[in-house]
Structure 1
């Protein structure tokens, strides 16, 4: 595990964008796993800027999103389809047929999950997976539980996650109670993973994630088992990390 601490959200976002750009430069037909929420927005802004400056080309890239709300059509303003097009896809040259996002409005959601897994396998897996983290340690919509899903599946959202996501809706009651999410095994099969976290409200989750103890009650702790995981933080998100809790093979870097 590699932990990189940047001074603030903007420098963290720029570093994340450079990591994505490096992946595409080395492998123009990369398969990217993409995340939504507030944290990746700065990274997406930087990627758009780099595309406009001819520093990066998305023409051969395929994308696979982590999740989508159940019950929301693609054109719903709070769907993750809408989020991705508004914040990235409409501004770059990615081919529409290379964009993969679960269909939250599918009549048969279980079949949609199976088909989504097949689409990832047909692409020969994800080269670089971008992740955010919930304040309760969830990644994607893999919520704390005794058992976690292996593959893409319909999941129930916790009250904590519904409350956190209610800021994007007119009211808490409008937040969907279920979502389609990549499972933990699907996420962990990615060749490389970069987890982004910013702000004091993520500090406790990050502390638990890197503590050296693995628990399904903090799904992000399973990332410790991945051979190519980078956790990219701002100073606030890193504020509770105790170096003594880190494993011996963990590289901890604070950027000035």
Structure 2
């Protein structure tokens, strides 16, 4: 017999919390009838300043099949939390989950940029990625390097050798969920190999907390500036000082004349 579920939850606290968060977000999306285009990540919305979508897209799922696949795989990958003796463990899991969420999203946008600007494939301008797949594929890849003899269990009955799981799952997901982002999954694999091979390393509590702080700041201010959510208590003020002289050009005759004017120093108003 296997271990009781409650006991496994205690052994995988971070994984359990992430699965709970993704499930709650999915339920909220369904209840509020939110379209994937409102929370997903695309090149077009990114260049409009919707940087917060790197986070919302990762934790949002529209299809229940996609949610079940990702969470089932993530539950199996939660074994990373129990491998502290191999240099992994819960701290490693939390630190590099942050890295996978952010870098895989940035890599997806970078790939879209190359395809659009260099190869003129404007189709990718509006392709919208959504789901935790990038992170799931990243952890598959890391585990395939760190512990190649282990297995990946899906849906409780399908077991895959972890050494081949990233690319097997890439094909499998593309078949059962045709709308799944191939580039998103591939980005997770690339970032996963970068972590597993030590190309990305050195994360500790200090860097993780600092990174989380920057993520929160960018998330809030990009929400504010994009107009997606109105934070009335946050004001983004111009950096220009109204008490300083302004410089402008006047067009006269066949040339331009430099003109300086000083605003009254009696005070300023914020509109």
TM-score where L is the length of structure 2: 0.25
Compare CA radii of gyration and give the structure with the larger one.
2
Q: TM-score, normalised by structure 1?
A: 0.26
Larger RCO of the pair (alpha carbons < 8 Å, separation 6+)? 1
